[in-house]
C-alpha cells in the first residue's frame, strides 16, 4: 500500500508539473508571437488594411518616422571615436534583449539603455526624451513592461458608473522634485487632506527616506480600477501606468507630460484624452469637483482616451510598429556614419 501511495503521489506531482509547464509555455509562445509581430519579424496581412483606410496622422509612416528620428531624419553625422553609448554586434550586450530585434540590420549604433529625461547631442536611440527634444531617437523598447497590463486590462475593468468617486494615486519615490508635475509635490500637498483624494507612496527607493511618512498600502491594478479617477504622475521618465490608465474606464487626471516615448504623449490633448492639472497640483481638488459635476464629459474623455490607446494596440497587432522601426533604422544607417 505504501508503494502504491508513493507512485500515486509522484504521478500527481508529474501531472501538476506538466500542467504548470504548459501554462508557462503557452504564455511564452503568446509573448514571443506578439514580440515578433511588434518588431516586424513576423508579417501580418492586417497591416495593409490598417494603413490604407486610416485618416489618423499617427498611422502615417513618414510622420511617425520623422517624429521618432527628430533632427536625424535628414541630417548626417560622423562618429569618429567610441563613447559610452556605443554598441556593436561584436563588442556589446545591451541591457534590453529586444534591442537586437530592432537593430538586427544595424551593426553599430548609439543607445542609452536607461530611463532618459535629458537631451543628447549625438544621435542616440532612447526609450524616452524630454518634451520638445529632437536629438534623442525614439524606439520601442521595454514593450512588456509598458504594454502587458494594457493587453490584460479587459479582464479587470468595471464600468465608469460602478466605480468609487475617489481620485487615486500610488507609486514609488522615483523622479525629481524640481520637475514640473512631480509626484513629491502631489503627495506632500494632498496626503490625507481630503477623503476624495487617496494619494501616497507605496514604497521608498533612490534613497528618498524622508518620504517614509507618506507611505500607504500597495494596490494592484485590479484594485485601482475600482476608482473613477486615476491620477498620473511621472517618475524618472514617463509614467509606466499611463497606457493602461487611459485604456481603462476611469478618467486620468494629470499635468501636461514633460517626457515622451513611443506612445507620443505630446499628442494627448487636455479635456479630450485626460483632465489637466496644474504643474504644482494646486487645483487637484477643484478638478476632481469638475469631474463630479461633468460625468458625461468624463465619459467622452474616457472614450477618446481608449481610442488613442487602441490605435497603438492595432499598430502592434498589425505589424505597423515593425514597419516604422525598420524605416527608422534604415535612415539611421544612411545618415549616421561610423569610423570606429
Which backbone phi and psi does 253 adopt, to 5 degrees?
-110, 125
Residue with cell string 521618465: 237
Residues in the chain: 340
DSSP code for 257? P
Residuewise pLDDT in 10s, the chain (340 residues): 555 555 555 555 555 555 554 444 444 455 555 555 565 544 443 443 444 445 677 888 999 999 999 999 999 999 988 888 888 765 666 666 667 777 777 888 999 888 899 999 999 999 999 999 999 999 998 888 888 889 888 756 789 999 999 999 999 999 989 999 999 999 999 999 999 999 999 999 999 999 999 999 999 999 999 999 999 999 999 999 999 999 999 999 999 999 999 999 999 999 999 999 999 999 999 999 999 999 999 999 999 999 999 999 999 988 889 899 999 999 999 999 998 7
Buried b (16+ CB within 10 A) or exposed e, 71-83: ebbeeeeebeeee
- The sheet carrying 164-172 orders its strands as 197-203, 164-172, 227-231, 251-254, 275-276
Residue pair 139/127 in contact (Cβ under 8 Å)? The answer is yes
A 10 A CB-CB count for 229 gives 25
Tell me how far apart the alpha carbons of residues 234 and 286 are, in angstroms, rounded to a whole number: 21
Strand order in the sheet with 124-126: 86-88, 108-111, 124-126, 137-138
Residue whose C-alpha is closest to residue 69's, from 109, 13, 114: 109
Contact 201, 232 (CB under 8 A): no
Query: CA 243, CA 35: separation in Å to the nearest integer?
Result: 18
318 burial (CB, 10 Å; 0-12 / 13-18 / 19+) is: buried
Report the alpha-carbon distance of residue 31 to residue 227 in Å, rounded: 29
pTM, two decimals, is 0.85
Asked if residue 89 lies in contact with residue 77, where contact means CB atoms within 8 angstroms, the answer is no
Tell me the domains of the chain and their CATH numbers: 61-141+321-338 (no CATH), 147-316 (3.40.50.2000)
How far lies 49's CA from each of 44, 59, 62, 156, in Å?
A: 10, 11, 17, 30
CA distance 152 to 161: 21
Amino acid at each position: 500500500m505504501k508503494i502504491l501511495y508513493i507512485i500515486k503521489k509522484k504521478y500527481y506531482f508529474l501531472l501538476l508539473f506538466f500542467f504548470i509547464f504548459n501554462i508557462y509555455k503557452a504564455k511564452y509562445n503568446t509573448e514571443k508571437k506578439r514580440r515578433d509581430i511588434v518588431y516586424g519579424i513576423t508579417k501580418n496581412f492586417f497591416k495593409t488594411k490598417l494603413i490604407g483606410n486610416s485618416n489618423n496622422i499617427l498611422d502615417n509612416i513618414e510622420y511617425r518616422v520623422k517624429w521618432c528620428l527628430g533632427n536625424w531624419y535628414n541630417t548626417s553625422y560622423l562618429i569618429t571615436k567610441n563613447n559610452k553609448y556605443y554598441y556593436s554586434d561584436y563588442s556589446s550586450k545591451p541591457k534590453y534583449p529586444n534591442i537586437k530585434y530592432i537593430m538586427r540590420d544595424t551593426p553599430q549604433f548609439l543607445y542609452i539603455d536607461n530611463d532618459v529625461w535629458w537631451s543628447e547631442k549625438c544621435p542616440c536611440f532612447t526609450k524616452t526624451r524630454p518634451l520638445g527634444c529632437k536629438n534623442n531617437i525614439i524606439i520601442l523598447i521595454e514593450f512588456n513592461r509598458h504594454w502587458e497590463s494594457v493587453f490584460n486590462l479587459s479582464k479587470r475593468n468595471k464600468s465608469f458608473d460602478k466605480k468609487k468617486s475617489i481620485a487615486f494615486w500610488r507609486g514609488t519615490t522615483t523622479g525629481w522634485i524640481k520637475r514640473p508635475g512631480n509626484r513629491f509635490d502631489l503627495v506632500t500637498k494632498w496626503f490625507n487632506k481630503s477623503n476624495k483624494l487617496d494619494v501616497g507612496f507605496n514604497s521608498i527607493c533612490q534613497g528618498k527616506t524622508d518620504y517614509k511618512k507618506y507611505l500607504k498600502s500597495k494596490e494592484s491594478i485590479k484594485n485601482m480600477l475600482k476608482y473613477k479617477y486615476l491620477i498620473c504622475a511621472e517618475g524618472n521618465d514617463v509614467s509606466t501606468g499611463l497606457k493602461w490608465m487611459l485604456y481603462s474606464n476611469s478618467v486620468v487626471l494629470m499635468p501636461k507630460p514633460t517626457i515622451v516615448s513611443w506612445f507620443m504623449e505630446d499628442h494627448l490633448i487636455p479635456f479630450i484624452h485626460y483632465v489637466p492639472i496644474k504643474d504644482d497640483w494646486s487645483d487637484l481638488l477643484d478638478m476632481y469637483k469638475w469631474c463630479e459635476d461633468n460625468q458625461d464629459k468624463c465619459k467622452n474623455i474616457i472614450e477618446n482616451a481608449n481610442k488613442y490607446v487602441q490605435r497603438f494596440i492595432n499598430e502592434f497587432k498589425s505589424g505597423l510598429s515593425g514597419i516604422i522601426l525598420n524605416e527608422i533604422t534604415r535612415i539611421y544607417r544612411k545618415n549616421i556614419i561610423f569610423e570606429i
